[in-house]
Amino acid sequence: MYMWSAYTLLHILFVDSTLHYFVYMCNCTFHIYFKILSYMMYEEASQFANDAVGSIRTVASFCAEDKSRTRIASTVKAIVDERIGNGEVSNK
């Protein structure tokens, strides 16, 4: 049977537990750091994707501008022609 000396017991109780606590705190600190870093990277990627979608919508709006203008003009022309035909508006 092994006899533990007082020095060995003190070493186990205080030095090793302090070292374990220090390692635990380092692990917690790194865990928190990497969690914050991952949130920041996610936020940056989300902002980039949001900007890209906004740019795509802007380009799509510019491409559809002529088509929308033509459709609105034909609708307005049809309404004006109908009003002129009914005599509500004079074409003079």
Instruction: Please check whether residue 4 lies inside any domain of the structure.
Output: no
The two three-digit tokens of residue 3, written as one number: 């006899």
Instruction: Please check whether residue 10 lies inside any domain of the structure.
Output: no
pTM of the predicted model over 0.85? no
Would you say 19 and 26 are in contact if contact means Cβ atoms under 8 Å apart?
no
Q: What's the average model confidence in pLDDT over 31-44?
A: 88
Triad 62, 66, 69: Cα angle to 5°:
115
Instruction: Please check whether residue 60 lies inside any domain of the structure.
Output: yes
Instruction: Please check whether residue 65 lies inside any domain of the structure.
Output: yes
pLDDT for 38 beyond 60: yes
Banded pLDDT at 24 (limits 50, 70, 90): confident
Task: Report how many domains make up the chain.
Answer: 1
Instruction: Please check whether residue 56 lies inside any domain of the structure.
Output: yes
The two three-digit tokens of residue 58, written as one number: 């802007």
